[in-house]
Amino acid sequence: METALLLNTSMLLTLTIILTPMFLPLLLKNFQSSPQTLTTTIKTAFLVSLMPTTLFMYSGLDSITSYWEWKFTMNFKIPLSFKMDQYSMLFFPIALFVTWSILQFAMSYMASDPHITKFFSYLTAFLIAMLTLTLANNMFLLFIGWEGVGIMSFLLISWWHGRAEANTAALQAVLYNRIGDIGLIMSMAWLASTLNSWEMQQMFSPMETPTLPLLGLILAATGKSAQFGLHPWLPAAMEGPTPVSALLHSSTMVVAGIFLLIRSHPLLTNNKTALTLCLCLGAMSTLFAATCALTQNDIKKIIAFSTSSQLGLMMVTIGLNLPQLAFLHISTHAFFKAMLFLCSGSIIHSLNGEQDIRKMGGLQKTLPTTTSCLTVGNMALMGTPFLAGFFSKDLIIENLNTSYLNTWALLLTLLATTFTATYSLRMTLLVQAESTRTPTMTPMNENSPQTLNPITRLALGSTVAGLLITSFMTPTQTPPMTMPMLTKTAAIIATTLGLIFALELANMTHTMTHPKQNNLLNFSSTLGYFNILTHRLSSTNLLYTGQKIATHLTDLSWYKKMGPEGLADLQLMASKASTTLHKGLIKAYLSSSALSILVILLSL
């Protein structure tokens, strides 16, 4: 009994700690939060949140707490309820750890920014929204968190709002998210009308759910997690500062969509169509993003595309009916992706704002710690054995190979794994190795502990996190244990192939003069022509239809032809016609009378 009490209390304590710096300045006059206070708060929250997690690990105790019900109508109540199960328990410390590291890094990265406190408050607000989403036990609270992260993403991407590209990117993010929200609201409406509740527990009935709400959920995940079709916002979101990219667009926000699917997994289990859709969509996304990452020259965009690719992989896992494995990948991915972003932020600052990898090189000698962590992160991303990424990624590919599902999805995923290795190695080589291509006077600096400590901390996490989490998470489905040797090593072989390709290509660049344009290169560098095709077409269509409706439909046809003026014209016509009949000839009158009488007599 006291375990449950301790669990709940510590969880609430964590939440309260995070909320404190947001509300205290409003209550006390002389208390102003500063970046330092916010960072310390998050660190405390992390340490406190370790307690419920360990409690959970040792007792396996799930808990659902309901407070204060909102009586919406007589029989539809929306309680404020938190669900503390394996997912939220594990997510809390990971998210808080990553956020702590990022906030510490941001103290040095954004030191020259006059509104740094506002920046930190935005980040904290985002964190609160994300945690609400994770803790939610009903769709209503989840939706609040969902929208919260969307809004904070908008505000943070357009942090440097004087820059036109930043504003466009933020708008793009909001629009694509909104399209996904349509799906979410549709599912919520279906749930409210069919099951009469938005609670997670009520959603889990063993029968087969119709495809419509599941399509809505998949649409929501596509929008939020940048699957193929609603993906352009993620690379564009790199306009925001690096801490923003690290927090939102690598670890936490973009996994919100996947998290939604994990939470509503029992709904998806029985519906083969939805599962296949997830599988194919994920495979498509992962390969597409990996292809685009091959020819990118901006370091942040490469990492953004790699995020996109890993999200596709998570979607594939959902399609394989393995939510736990998807969550494992979310957790491990958070570590190394955040670290990659922070490293790239440090490199960018050192090179005085240079983001193009063609203008970097030989940084291993000048920024040793940062580049070592970069290498570690890339290797974890590729799935090097026994680093963090291995535990999740390898398991996913093993399961994919031993399942009875779509071969095409399997092929695409393997190909994407190869590409992952290729672009990661490309990035590493161009940044660190060989001779320097940077300008001569650069403020190379990695001496401040505020920059280094987060990065090294996350590197430590990337190494051990996989092992830690898998040791303590009880799998709900038995993982495949025996498989042929080729299948077992498929992931490693694919990755090695990718590495070899990358080395070959790097060697080729020494002898080439000027790359000729060919179709493949064009496809990859313009992100598959997707942006160019869709953005202009859809907006012009919409505006044109609007104009047509306003002028032609409303003004012309309804007012002039069919409405009042049309009626007036009709009457005028009738009046003129009948006037010409009355000419005054009595013979005509009498004959018409006679004719009428004849007609009457004959017909009646």
Partner 1 sequence: FILMLSLTLGTMITITSNHWVTAWAGLEINTLAVIPLISKSHHPRAIEAATKYFLTQATASALMLFSSMTNAWSSGQWDITQLTNPPSCLLLTAAIAIKLGLTPFHFWFPEVLQGSSLTTALLLSTAMKFPPTTILLLTSHSLNPTLLSTMAIMSIALGGWMGLNQTQTRKILAFSSISHLGWMTIIITYNPKLTLLTFYLYSLMTTSIFLSMNSTNTLKLSTLMTSWTKAPMLNTTLMLTLLSLAGLPPLTGFLPKWLIIQELTKQEMTTTATTISMLSLLGLFFYLRLTYCSTITLPPNSSNKMKQWSIKKPVNTLTPTL
Query: Is 604 an interacting residue with respect to partner 1 (CB under 8 A)?
Result: yes
Query: Is 562 an interacting residue with respect to partner 1 (CB under 8 A)?
Result: no
Q: Which stretch, 398-406, 457-465, 517-525, 585-593, contacts partner 1 (CB under 8 A)?
A: 585-593
Could you tell me which residues come within 8 angstroms of residue 479 by beta carbon, excluding any fewer than 6 positions away? 395, 398, 399
Largest CA-CA distance found in the chain, in angstroms, rounded = 118
Which residue type occupies 24? Answer: L
Which residue type occupies 130? Answer: M
Length of the chain: 604
Angle between helices 368-382 and 388-402 (to 10 degrees): 20
State the nearest-atom distance from the C-beta of 560 to partner 1, in Å. 20
Number of residues near partner 1 (by CB under 8 A): 20
Query: Is 590 an interacting residue with respect to partner 1 (CB under 8 A)?
Result: yes
Q: Give the nearer residue to partner 1 in terms of CB position, either 554 or 591.
A: 591
Q: Give the nearer residue to partner 1 in terms of CB position, either 411 or 570.
A: 570
Q: Which stretch, 46-54, 63-71, 254-262, 568-576, contacts partner 1 (CB under 8 A)?
A: 568-576
Q: Which stretch, 269-277, 482-490, 524-532, 588-596, contacts partner 1 (CB under 8 A)?
A: 588-596
Q: Give the nearer residue to partner 1 in terms of CB position, either 464 or 573.
A: 573
Number of other residues whose CB lies within 10 A of the CB of residue 483:
14
Query: Is 589 an interacting residue with respect to partner 1 (CB under 8 A)?
Result: yes
Note whether 105 and 451 are within 8 A (CB): yes
Note whether 473 and 328 are within 8 A (CB): yes
Q: Give the nearer residue to partner 1 in terms of CB position, either 162 or 584.
A: 584
Helix (H, G, I), strand (E, B) or coil at 436: coil
Query: Is 565 an interacting residue with respect to partner 1 (CB under 8 A)?
Result: no
Q: Give the nearer residue to partner 1 in terms of CB position, either 511 or 575.
A: 575
State the nearest-atom distance from the C-beta of 592 to partner 1, in Å. 6
Query: Is 596 an interacting residue with respect to partner 1 (CB under 8 A)?
Result: yes
User: Which residue do the tokens 């936490």 mark?
Assistant: 252
Query: Is 574 an interacting residue with respect to partner 1 (CB under 8 A)?
Result: yes
Query: Is 597 an interacting residue with respect to partner 1 (CB under 8 A)?
Result: yes
Q: Give the nearer residue to partner 1 in terms of CB position, either 537 or 588.
A: 588
Measured between alpha carbons, how far is 547 from 550 in angstroms, rounded to an integer? Answer: 5
Q: Give the nearer residue to partner 1 in terms of CB position, either 111 or 590.
A: 590
Note whether 42 and 96 are within 8 A (CB): yes
Measured between alpha carbons, how far is 421 from 495 in angstroms, rounded to an integer? Answer: 6
Q: Which stretch, 169-177, 436-444, 526-534, 581-589, contacts partner 1 (CB under 8 A)?
A: 581-589
- Given 3, 36, 445, 592, the residue binding partner 1 (CB under 8 A): 592
Q: Which stretch, 314-322, 323-331, 508-516, 586-594, contacts partner 1 (CB under 8 A)?
A: 586-594
CA atoms within 13 Å, Cβ hemisphere of 15: 18
Query: Is 514 an interacting residue with respect to partner 1 (CB under 8 A)?
Result: no
Q: Give the nearer residue to partner 1 in terms of CB position, either 481 or 585.
A: 585
Note whether 143 and 180 are within 8 A (CB): no
> What tokens were used for 29?
């006059």
Measured between alpha carbons, how far is 304 from 527 in angstroms, rounded to an integer? Answer: 13
Per-position x/- string for 443-482, each x denoting binding to partner 1 as judged by CB under 8 A, each - no binding: ----------------------------------------
Q: Which stretch, 50-58, 101-109, 120-128, 574-582, contacts partner 1 (CB under 8 A)?
A: 574-582
Note whether 454 and 101 are within 8 A (CB): yes
Q: Give the nearer residue to partner 1 in terms of CB position, either 212 or 594.
A: 594
Which residue type occupies 399? Answer: N
Residue from 82, 64, 62 nearest 145 by CA: 82
> What tokens were used for 171?
């708008």
Q: Give the nearer residue to partner 1 in terms of CB position, either 111 or 598.
A: 598
Query: Is 70 an interacting residue with respect to partner 1 (CB under 8 A)?
Result: no
Query: Is 591 an interacting residue with respect to partner 1 (CB under 8 A)?
Result: no
State the nearest-atom distance from the C-beta of 168 to partner 1, in Å. 56
Query: Is 576 an interacting residue with respect to partner 1 (CB under 8 A)?
Result: yes
Query: Is 440 an interacting residue with respect to partner 1 (CB under 8 A)?
Result: no
State the nearest-atom distance from the C-beta of 582 to partner 1, in Å. 6
Query: Is 601 an interacting residue with respect to partner 1 (CB under 8 A)?
Result: yes
User: Which residue do the tokens 């939604």 mark?
Assistant: 260
Q: Give the nearer residue to partner 1 in terms of CB position, either 553 or 567.
A: 567
User: Which residue do the tokens 């707490």 mark?
Assistant: 65
Whether the CA torsion 470, 476, 480, 481 is positive or negative: it is positive
| Strand-pair partners of 70 | 78
Q: Which stretch, 78-86, 90-98, 470-478, 594-602, contacts partner 1 (CB under 8 A)?
A: 594-602
Residue from 377, 342, 335 nearest 466 by CA: 335
Measured between alpha carbons, how far is 319 from 326 in angstroms, rounded to an integer? Answer: 10
Per-position x/- string for 116-155, each x denoting binding to partner 1 as judged by CB under 8 A, each - no binding: ----------------------------------------
3-state secondary structure 93-131: HHHHHHHHHHHHHHHHHCCCCCCHHHHHHHHHHHHHHHH
Per-position x/- string for 353-392, each x denoting binding to partner 1 as judged by CB under 8 A, each - no binding: ----------------------------------------
Residue from 377, 388, 380, 383 nearest 398 by CA: 383
3-state secondary structure 180-229: HHHHHHHHHHHHHHHCCCCECHHHCCCCCCCHHHHHHHHHHHHHHCCCCC
Binding site for partner 1 (CB under 8 A): 571-572, 574-576, 578-579, 582, 584, 586, 588-590, 592-593, 596-597, 600-601, 604
